[in-house]
Amino acid sequence: MSDTHNKEVDQISGVETTGHEWDGLKELNNPLPRWWLYIFYATVVWAVIYWVLYPSWPLVSSYTKGVLGANQRQEATAAYDKGVADRAQFADKIVATSLEDITQDQDLLQYALANGRAAFGDNCAPCHGSGGTGAEGYPNLQDDTWIWGGTLDDIHTTLLYGIRTDNDDARFGDMPAFGTDELLTREEIDQVSNFVASRAGVETDADVDLAAGQVLYEDNCAACHGDNLEGIQEVGAPSLMSANYLYGNSLDDIKAQVAAPRNGVMPGWVERLDPATIKSLTVYVHSFGGGQ
Amino acid sequence: MSADTETHEGGHSEEWFASAKKIYPMATHGLFRRIKWTLLFITLGIYYFLPFIRYDRGPDAPGQAVLIDMDHTRAYFFFIEIWPQEVYYLTGLLIIAAVALFLMNAVAGRVWCGYLCPQTVWTDLFLWVERKVEGDRRERIALDKDPWTFGKIRKRATKHFFWLMIAWWTGGAWVLYFNDAPTLVWQLLTFQAPMIAYVWIGILTTTTYLLAGFMREQVCIYMCPWPRIQAALTDEKALNVTYRWDRGEPRGSLKHNKELAAQGMPAGDCIDCYQCFQVCPTGVDIRKGMQLDCIQCGLCIDACDNIMTKIGKPTGLIAYDTDENIERRIEGKEPVYEIVRVRTIIYAAIIAVVGAIMLFTLLNRDFADISVLHDRNPVFVEQSDGSVRNGYTVRLSNKRRHTRAFMLHVEGMPPNTQVEAVGADSTFAGRPIIEVGPDTTREVRVLVSSPPWEKMPQSTPVTFRITESVMGEVVTTKDTFKAPGEP
Ligand code: SF4
Ligand code: SF4
């Protein structure tokens, strides 16, 4: 600050200028307010203290750890554990309460729905869709077609053990492969498929003998799907009356399913999710609309 | 003018920073000083003691008249209870506050700054402590120059002790607005209060101590935006603390002016005693005219009036007056005080309208509330019997202090539409009845299914109506029922 002689001093204010000039306006070199300067120094000091206390500088393969040993991963884990512990009391109540009673208890219901929604997103959404509307081969949980039953208990059983899994308590229902196993001829498959389509309101082929199809249906299908196509839940044979079919609603889809049926697998969750979560999921899925 | 108060004129500083000139406001007495003391007592009295006033809202409800309950997201102000979705009242209050500031400004400049601004009020209180401990202006200037003797240290320590006590009490009173005051006081005393309470007390103690003890007029001059806005809003009809130079000039010492007068030369009433300058809390020489730094506290009026009384001249050399009036007096016209004019009428009208709207909504507010969120995924579901089902998340709020039951009805749908609420407590004629606890919100999932095979259009406007079972209070909201059908 010694040499100010060659600096220009503003006539009016007596303050020296910075030498910057725009359109004839000269910038005055006014000093900073003291408080401002001190706050600036304080931030510098703060930064240095921070470097010492907390992880900050990157090194070649690591970083400075800071003397406090602060670690965000540990903090996150601790917060997670605390969350689990906080929820434990609710979880215990859910386990101890019957499904029916959970839906009657406002607090438990709210908890179960929230917990179920989260668990659904993590575990179920990949197949059944984030809104539970399913896709071809994956049942729509929002409608009233429940292949294995839509009561709270049915849904709970399905969630626990799955369908067609290795679990001893899992429910099975295998549709015979009428085409691949040569139980029916090509023509017979066409006939029975057209008969089913005609009853479900799907457009049929021209010149097909629907009466023959009906006979074939009664001989081969009625045992599982019922005399009036109403389906039998106990064996997982869906109703064929309306075309909410799992594997497609066109005549070709029906033919394909009769000839070489697909038998989808629903995994059981008893070994992967805790009982409270499975119960919450049951309540949540049931809240989509439930059903028989 | 003493060297201490002389402002630097010209001569550039080679410092890296320029420090503000320390101001040593002198004590004065008079009408405006009394007004200031009175307002200080009232405002600080309200601030420090309001949380202790009780108000009975019945069992299970806070008994504190003014309370902001963060945990339960409720704000209480005597008989008013504000829910989070009603914070628009705050918007109304802010509008009224802003326009009231404009109105005050149109009437009498920065009166808010001079008498009611917290910065002014606390600074005044701190200055009072300073005077009690260290003495008035002259003694304080001397004390600053004194070497560090035991006596000086004792005085300084005493002053800072009292300042910190006031600052600490200020922070303490603040947190009492957010929790039951007597309980919190006890918790604070026994070190069981929540951490956040100590943190806030710490913050407010520090800011009060710094702002009222050290920053003082610098807050008004450098930090506060209001002087800038105010300068743009004021006009020549607003009353401002004004030095009536038409009467005061030419100024000179008492003796000098008397001599001038004796010779028949023009001599003003101002005896250049600098009292008006020395009492000024922001270091303004009001005789230089209207300035941004002046907070319109009127203390210079008191000071000058005291001088005028002493020298046997009429008071009011400095007074609340307008520039317009000075011109008028010079021209020999009567002064005018136009408080009621277009500007003030408009401001007052805005305040009245906003206030009336707030009062109206407050008196007519519902004690129940419904909001509906249509499911987006899926928007609708077709059922095997041909019906279409829509899912909604319905939130019901009960703002009364007891459990109430609401019957839910969906209007605008064809007959035989089914309405189910997951977890409904009962149904009446096919309409779900949902109980909501006291002062709470409950969320239920509602499924609406159209009658089987009924051809529904793509979108049907529907009204969700809740009817409270006892008083019959009705609240509605609108939504739509979606279907795959024809648009
Ligand atoms: S000039 Fe007068 S009115 Fe303005 S701040 Fe100073 S003492 Fe108060
Ligand atoms: S107090 Fe009054 S008389 Fe004294 S200098 Fe100020 S205006 Fe002049």
Q: pLDDT digit string (tens) for A196-241?
A: 999 888 888 888 889 999 999 999 999 999 988 888 888 889 888 8
pTM for this structure? Answer: 0.71
Name the percent of chain B lying above pLDDT 90: 60
- Which of B14, B22, B222, B384 to mutate against chain A (most A CBs within 10 Å)? B384
Chain B residue numbers with beta carbons less than 8 Å from the beta carbon of A42 are none
CA-proximal residue: ligand 2, atom 4 (nearest): B273
Within an 8 Å CB–CB cutoff, is residue A9 touching chain B? yes
Please name every residue paired with B68 in a beta bridge, in sequence order, or none if there are none. B75
With a cut of 50, say whether residue B479 has pLDDT above it.
yes
**Residue from the list B18, B222, B383 with its beta carbon closest to the beta carbon of A144:** B383
Asked if B384 lies within 8 A of A9 by C-beta distance, the reply is: no
With a cut of 60, say whether residue B223 has pLDDT above it.
yes
Q: pLDDT digit string (tens) for A105-160?
A: 888 999 999 999 999 999 999 999 998 988 889 999 988 888 899 999 999 999 99
Chain A residue numbers with beta carbons less than 8 Å from the beta carbon of B376 are 131
Chain B residue numbers with beta carbons less than 8 Å from the beta carbon of A15 are 12-13
Three-state SS at A155: helix
Asked if B377 lies within 8 A of A103 by C-beta distance, the reply is: no
How confident is the model at residue B15, as a pLDDT? 59
d(CA A162, CA B159): 78
- Which of A106, A143, A239 to mutate against chain B (most B CBs within 10 Å)? A106
pLDDT band at B366 (very low <50, low <70, confident <90, very high): confident
With a cut of 50, say whether residue A176 has pLDDT above it.
yes
d(CA A129, CA A106): 27
